Structure 1
Amino acid sequence: MQTPSTLSVVSTSISPAVSGLQGWADLSDGLLHSIVALLGSSIDLLAFAATCQSWRAAFSSHRSASNLCTLIPPLLIRPADPIQGSSLPSIFSEKRSSVPFNSRYMLRIRKVIDVASDNSALGCQIPQETFENMHFAGSSHGHLICCYRGVCLVVDVFTGAMVSPPRLPFSDGYYGGTLTAPLTSPNSHLLVSTQSSLFDWPVGSDSWEELQLPHGWIYQIVQFNGQFIAMDHGMKMYTLRLAPRLGLREIPTEWCSEIEPESFVQAWLVVCGDDLLMVDHFVHLSSADPVCHRLDMSTEPAKWVKVKTLDNWAIFVGGDERSPPFACARPERWGGTSNNLYYAHHSQPWSVHELRGHVDLSPTSHPNFNWRKRFVPTAMALWVYPSMFYSDGR
């Protein structure tokens, strides 16, 4: 993105109101909104919003702000070694007085890669406490969710700001965590799954509600067509109810595919436009081809139907089953490729795999590539959007 001193706007006419403005901070919302619509990467949008308060307000009030997560690719967050981390420019470089030096909340640098911005590397700062003393439970709405022995922290990935819910009634074994809405939303809930229970914290309240799980832990929850859909580790599907009491209702499903679910590794559930997709790969270790199915909920039971192409969509998945995937429309807009899956590695930044509509069992260029998602205490490589992309001006 160009700096305000060199930014130029091409127009056949300039209204007297615009030409008479005294400074960049005084530009009209209409003009600023037209600039936002032209930006094609998260880094550019973050730079725009960080310019000044009026530009940030214009970004938040832009009619497409809530749709940014389908228009531009997410940012890739990866570990940075000490030497590399010290040289990375931070997205938010201002000092945070709320994080005292040498405290357990010292900030640790993580590498940030924007695939739409010449693969440039930046840094973000996350409290060291979340890496050294806590277990990663999930990421949601621009936040990491970390738990350990009943203590839970919700940490903004890019600012390090933290929210500390009440102590969890369960002390160990956290298999998933998600927010149902931005933290600033009046109806936001934090959901944390253990092996046998799902815990619900209405943000701002002083207690958790517990729901015993019938078939094991819930590791993914998505919002689809106005309702929450949950999937457990056995790939059973449920609708999730938050009020008046927390509840799950199983969605009977059947497979309309030549590939049975037993042939898959744990799947990613992702909302792609008007479809709810399950993306995975065949367990044959020589195959690096993704396989995709769509849940047809117009029938009873609902049917998983094989998808041959993603059309003009691309999907981003991380290497940890607790980090959510994302779908991005028209990736050619920022230099990406449709009908592809972008997989974040632990050892290398990412790889791109085409959805070809069939399982190729022949040797591939990734003969030793195992897509099996990791389940380790510390968050590794994951895709994420900044929390401000979800705020809608609140």
Structure 2
Amino acid sequence: MTRPSIANRRRRRGDRSTVRNWSDLPDGPLHTILTCLCSLVDFISFSSVCRSWRAVASSVSTASLFPPLLLCPTFFRFSILSSLSLLDPASPSFSSSLSRNSNKFASIVFHSYSHGHLLRFSQNRIIILNPFTGDELFSPLLPQNRNFFPYFPLLTSPLSSPDSGLLLLTSDTLFHWHINSPSWSIHNPKFKPSGRTTFATVQEKVYALDSLDTLFVLDVSPQLHLRLAVDGLGDWAFIFQRFLVVCDGQLLLLLLVPTDELIYAQLEVYRLDSSVNGTRWVKQQTLGNWAIFVGYDCRVPGLAVENPERWGGRSNCVYFATEYGDGAWPWTVIKLGDVIDTLDPESPLFNAKFRNRPSSAWVHPGF
């Protein structure tokens, strides 16, 4: 048998050393590794290995693979942020502080969450901050003669979307900024949402639900316009809490409503049906193989995850974020159809009240 030449042996040793360079792994094996990860914590560790791994990770939708993380703020006072912690429902024992970018958000006045970002007012503009990367995006200046502090800005979709925009609804005016455009669009709607309003985007349509359960549709182009879609639910005189959720390409309305005994509540889910008979809410009996995640603040739309059993979760259930701290469990899981004791300390309605500062919220990190 002919022995390999010295050059060939060196070449083979060089090939082996190349294989040991993990940053040079081709995309195929990296995607295989991604499909084996069980939590967002693992995903974040994967994306932090090197630049090439992060590029592969950024091409994958985490929403289709993992549950969201629970982002828990700690405040000095009022809305002045002290720190942020991350909790993972796929790894309940895991807890991490976002200390790497602490200089970006320490002591800031923080107003809302939206699509994994923190939003705050500063010098008459809105700053969009990614707490995972520290990246900031500044909006154009808002009108000088307005006090925007009490209001709640929201993104209509993730910043990676070409149609992403920033919404700000005041008592009489609707402001919209298409991301990276030079100025705000301003609209004085004929029909004005009442009280706390939440927004959700489904198939390029932006919906707004107010505290009277009136649903509006926001047309962004060719010009900004707010129009009435569904005038209330009609069946309920009182509702504990309401959330909009986009699930499998459809808009859902999640309600916590009282039973015949007022100290108990139950979950009900409605799907927006736009048929030839007009737009209406249709009651759903089950969530199927989906789970819904909602926070303390109903102005922030909920998130939906398919096949939660993949990471140890439960289908046909709602994960409610509760008040974080003081040893309390940070979320509670309720199956659709279960009765909720509002006096139970683990109930999402126990000691619930509207807060003028953001509380814990579910997020899909943006990289």
**Contact 1:253–1:304 (CA<8 Å) still a contact in 2?**
no
Match for residue 321 of structure 1?
298
Which of 204, 228, 231 in structure 2 is aligned with 1:250? 228
Query: SS at the partner of 1:73?
Result: coil
Query: SS at the partner of 2:52?
Result: helix
Corresponding letter in the other structure for 1:202: H
Task: Verify: 1:206 aligned to 2:200, yes or no.
Answer: no
CA distance in 1, matches of 2:136, 2:218: 26
Match for residue 235 of structure 2?
260
CA distance in 2, matches of 1:171, 1:364: 38
Shift in Å at residue 53 of structure 1? 0.9
Which of 230, 246, 254 in structure 2 is aligned with 1:271? 246
The RMSD of aligned alpha carbons is: 3.1
Match for residue 199 of structure 2?
221
Task: Verify: 1:172 aligned to 2:139, yes or no.
Answer: no
Change (3 A) 1:375 1:162: farther
Aligned length: 339
Match for residue 380 of structure 1?
359
CA distance in 1, matches of 2:105, 2:52: 33
CA distance in 2, matches of 1:159, 1:107: 17
CA distance in 1, matches of 2:277, 2:98: 46
Write out per-residue CA displacement over residues 281-319 of structure 1, whole angstroms, 9 at most, x where no aligned residue.
114652243221112212433221222211111111000
Query: SS at the partner of 2:283?
Result: strand
Change (3 A) 1:321 1:361: closer
CA distance in 2, matches of 1:201, 1:363: 40
Corresponding letter in the other structure for 1:180: T
Query: SS at the partner of 2:275?
Result: coil
Which of 299, 309, 316 in structure 2 is aligned with 1:332? 309
Which of 54, 57, 64 in structure 1 is aligned with 2:55? 57
CA distance in 1, matches of 2:311, 2:94: 14
In the superposition, the TM-score normalised over structure 2's length comes to 0.81
Shift in Å at residue 107 of structure 1? 8.4
Task: Verify: 1:147 aligned to 2:141, yes or no.
Answer: no
Shift in Å at residue 81 of structure 1? 8.3
Q: 1:175-194, aligned counterparts within 5 Å?
A: 175-194=151-170
Structure 2 unaligned spans of 5+: 1-14
Q: 1:6-85, aligned counterparts within 5 Å?
A: 21-61=19-59, 65-66=60-61, 68-80=62-74
Task: Verify: 1:350 aligned to 2:331, yes or no.
Answer: yes
**Contact 1:253–1:303 (CA<8 Å) still a contact in 2?**
no
Change (3 A) 1:81 1:247: closer
**Contact 2:113–2:358 (CA<8 Å) still a contact in 1?**
no
Of the structure 1 ranges 166-175 and 187-196, higher mean CA displacement relative to structure 2 is found in 166-175
Corresponding letter in the other structure for 1:330: N
CA distance in 1, matches of 2:166, 2:26: 37
Q: Percent identity?
A: 33
**Contact 2:193–2:214 (CA<8 Å) still a contact in 1?**
no
Task: Verify: 1:235 aligned to 2:209, yes or no.
Answer: no
Change (3 A) 1:149 1:72: same
CA distance in 1, matches of 2:156, 2:235: 31
Corresponding letter in the other structure for 2:206: F
Query: SS at the partner of 1:46?
Result: helix
Change (3 A) 1:154 1:368: closer
Corresponding letter in the other structure for 2:366: S
Which of 88, 102, 110 in structure 1 is aligned with 2:84? 110
Change (3 A) 1:135 1:362: closer
Query: SS at the partner of 2:359?
Result: coil
CA distance in 2, matches of 1:161, 1:168: 21
CA distance in 2, matches of 1:260, 1:237: 15
Change (3 A) 1:184 1:301: closer
Write out per-residue CA displacement over residues 167-193 of structure 1, whole angstroms, 9 at most, x where no aligned residue.
322323544322234335554321112
Shift in Å at residue 241 of structure 1? 1.5
Change (3 A) 1:149 1:219: farther
Shift in Å at residue 44 of structure 1? 0.9
Query: SS at the partner of 2:67?
Result: coil
**Contact 1:254–1:302 (CA<8 Å) still a contact in 2?**
no
Corresponding letter in the other structure for 1:273: D
**Contact 1:251–1:302 (CA<8 Å) still a contact in 2?**
yes
**Contact 1:133–1:148 (CA<8 Å) still a contact in 2?**
no
Q: 1:110-129, aligned counterparts within 5 Å?
A: 110-125=84-99
Corresponding letter in the other structure for 2:239: F
**Contact 1:315–1:342 (CA<8 Å) still a contact in 2?**
yes
Of the structure 1 ranges 110-119 and 171-180, higher mean CA displacement relative to structure 2 is found in 171-180
CA distance in 1, matches of 2:102, 2:310: 34
Shift in Å at residue 341 of structure 1? 0.7
In the superposition, the TM-score normalised over structure 1's length comes to 0.76
Structure 1 unaligned spans of 5+: 1-16, 83-105, 389-394
CA distance in 1, matches of 2:342, 2:295: 23
Of the structure 1 ranges 281-290 and 121-130, higher mean CA displacement relative to structure 2 is found in 121-130
**Contact 2:214–2:232 (CA<8 Å) still a contact in 1?**
no
Ranked by relative contact order (alpha carbons within 8 Å, sequence separation 6 or more), the top structure is 1
